[in-house]
Structure 1
């Protein structure tokens, strides 16, 4: 059904965006499943704080591998085949992981699952950004974050329901990842290829068909004309080109934002909620119940972010997130040090601030600030930096918490948020409502 007021086929764009964003659901699932599984894994495999950190960080190590391959595969063979490969990898690894007989095999399986997650986390927002029109691109890319938080919430609920299933409850928790990955694989098979990639590959007729379906013939002709105008200025797609003088300023911004999204620290609340709330005296049932509350708050504020990202703009939301988290972390650290249950409320508030700012907007910016000729590779490098930062974060937290108390890391994260605030203020340009072609024109000088 064509949207008469805007000229865009809104239903089709939404359908395509949601299917592609199922890659985000896989991210959310594997991200959250470890929080529920850790108490059982500790009992089954005698995890100490180092193995706890390694088991959590292994996902990120696999994601880094996935990111390296994702951009090159997507630039060479198309966004759609690369997304299908990501879904297949996750499907198989989830099934095998459920039968792990030892901690090393479990960690290796989780690492392989991370390859699929890393590919999907790179390609889903990239694909959506190339499909969506400028005026709704922020909301459409934020759908990827919505599916991430849905994955987190649903997984937390399932983990809670499985809590009394015995010592092997973790096997059901991780094995159920095969279900969303099967739906994702089937859905991606239906998706059209990115019209911008088709134009880059010289498939003009196929690109026009997709563009006409998205926004009509006038929109299709406009995109093709802008694409042709940029071809004379294109850099050959390669990782060397990503680090060229023309692209490097955007790359540094993208990588820094990606690293900041992780080192801001919020993901320790998602991944180690049971450890954090145990330190203030919560029972195991209450610990798992808190993960559900975290998922609900995360979902509500992500929906709010989708409503605001194309209204308030990218930069104001990013500044709100950095500044708000810095304040809330200091309060949370004080309460955790006092072993006060009130820390649960300030940490939930932190989740809300993050969910409506740094979480979705970082993905939006990473997906839209790079030139088309190297976009796949550049997004890969940025997301690779994101996963490296995540691995560092989740590996170090159990060690810091064990030796210095669960409150100490939050003082560190508050300092990182202050530094992030000033970086965003000085270096991030507003891209709200600007077409990808115009962003590229402004960011990359002619050669």
Structure 2
């Protein structure tokens, strides 16, 4: 399958939202002390006295945490907004949040208003919550089945690239200075303007147009633009079959998703895979990295941390090339296994650091290895985990990673080269097989003809 110019443009334009998501995750950390000093200056200007320590801590904590609150609230609206406006138009309108949020943050110092900073962080968080759902949805729907895994990885690559760009620009010698930190925060409007300029040239998702809007003519036109082929009947036939199956499915409630054997397995797998990302300990690695690099004698540990960010990006690119060759399940297990081993080695190295100084270098290698395996497998989901166990926190992560590795091996099916409909049918088959086995266990005394009938009904 060749990558057409329209497909490349559409994917690039979409993942600009992921780049902005990553940038806003990483941008707030480097200039923390300088921004706190500015909050104090604003307080002195208003009230004629320094800001109380507790108030400063509360304001800074709110500035950081409100980003996640905005993202959490907006993420609940992804499904509704994407079906109401369409994938492309939803991304286009979502950029208004980024433009407003970036402008508020960039002008907060000039206006002497930490309220503008906090409100800007909330609005940019709302943008990122929508973008984190809309971007992979759009890319997954326009990507050919044979390239869906590789192109889907670009969402993660853009996030870690955004984080790395924020780390680099946040250096005090660049934009992380007392005068330029508003520019650092306001730069988030640049990818916003670029995405708004390019989206009108990108086609709407053909899958959305056909399955949701029932616009076959427009869906066919979009497929022709994305594939460069005039004959797209085979792809349209896949969507027709998927629509037929979806029309046959009745609407279910959230509670039924967990009660029904038909839906329980994919839901549980989705939750477990997300937990394997969020509980992997990657942010604890970055939390410990600065002190480890300092003990190793690195003069500027911030550059070593940026080096870890480079490894982050590099191995996301490696994953991009491996995902369609090795499969998602295999790479996920490889990443979890590698991270588990690195976590154990890191625990030993950190525990022996005071008595065996050269163990700091083993710790450094373990950090880079952990980050590399993370990007090969689970992928970056930013989350900060603070634990009182010191270096032994990584034993917790090692145990969790081992558990997720075993779960992936036994319960997660491979999806490489399969359409959305085939993936869904595979789950239905597994659920039906489980129900059939349950019926057979309960009814072993029934005649074989009746058992055959029950099995056939379960599968159908």
Partner of 1:38: 32
Report if the CA contact (8 A) 1:162-1:173 is conserved. Answer: no
User: Does structure 1 residue 302 correspond to structure 2 residue 322?
Assistant: no
Counterparts in 2 of 1:3-402, with a 5 A limit? 6=1, 8-45=2-39, 55-100=63-108, 101=112, 106-160=117-171, 162=173, 166-200=177-211, 201-215=213-227, 220-234=232-246, 235=249, 240=254, 243=257, 245=260, 246-270=262-286, 272=287, 276-277=291-292, 280=295, 286-337=300-351, 338=353, 341-342=360-361, 343-359=363-379, 393-394=383-384, 396-397=385-386, 400=387
Choose between structure 1 and 2 for higher RCO, CA contacts under 8 A separated by at least 6 residues. Answer: 1
After TM superposition, the score normalised by the length of structure 1 is: 0.80
1:334/1:37 Cα in 2 relative to 1: closer, same or farther (>3 Å)? farther
Aligned residue pairs: how many? Answer: 403
What is the CA-CA distance between 1:352 and the residue it aligns to? 1.2
Q: CA RMSD in A?
A: 3.1
1:205/1:19 Cα in 2 relative to 1: closer, same or farther (>3 Å)? same
Report if the CA contact (8 A) 1:324-1:353 is conserved. Answer: yes
SS of 1:358's partner is coil
Deviation per CA, 1:355-412: give whole Å up to 9, x if none: 122117xxxxxxxxxxxxxxxxxxxxxxxxx7xxx5xx42x42xx3xx554x343333
Report if the CA contact (8 A) 1:211-1:219 is conserved. Answer: no
What is the CA-CA distance between 1:311 and the residue it aligns to? 0.2
Instruction: Write the distance in 1 (CA, Å) between the matches of 2:276 and 2:413.
Output: 16
Instruction: Write the distance in 2 (CA, Å) between the matches of 1:233 and 1:108.
Output: 44
Mean Cα displacement is larger for which, 335-344 or 76-85? Answer: 335-344
Mean Cα displacement is larger for which, 328-337 or 185-194? Answer: 328-337
Instruction: Write the distance in 1 (CA, Å) between the matches of 2:253 and 2:143.
Output: 26
Instruction: Write the distance in 2 (CA, Å) between the matches of 1:168 and 1:209.
Output: 50
1:62/1:280 Cα in 2 relative to 1: closer, same or farther (>3 Å)? farther
What is the CA-CA distance between 1:89 and the residue it aligns to? 0.9
1:77/1:247 Cα in 2 relative to 1: closer, same or farther (>3 Å)? farther
SS of 1:233's partner is helix
After TM superposition, the score normalised by the length of structure 2 is: 0.78
Instruction: Write the distance in 1 (CA, Å) between the matches of 2:326 and 2:122.
Output: 38
Report if the CA contact (8 A) 2:294-2:301 is conserved. Answer: no
Instruction: Write the distance in 2 (CA, Å) between the matches of 1:439 and 1:202.
Output: 22
Deviation per CA, 1:219-274: give whole Å up to 9, x if none: 6212222222333332467865983734342122122212321221213445x477
Mean Cα displacement is larger for which, 108-117 or 190-199? Answer: 108-117
Partner of 2:436: none
- Gapped runs of 5+ residues in structure 1? 1-5, 361-385
Instruction: Write the distance in 1 (CA, Å) between the matches of 2:311 and 2:97.
Output: 30
1:233/1:258 Cα in 2 relative to 1: closer, same or farther (>3 Å)? same
Mean Cα displacement is larger for which, 216-225 or 317-326? Answer: 216-225
What is the CA-CA distance between 1:318 and the residue it aligns to? 0.4
What is the CA-CA distance between 1:312 and the residue it aligns to? 1.0
What is the CA-CA distance between 1:79 and the residue it aligns to? 0.5
Instruction: Write the distance in 1 (CA, Å) between the matches of 2:244 and 2:177.
Output: 63
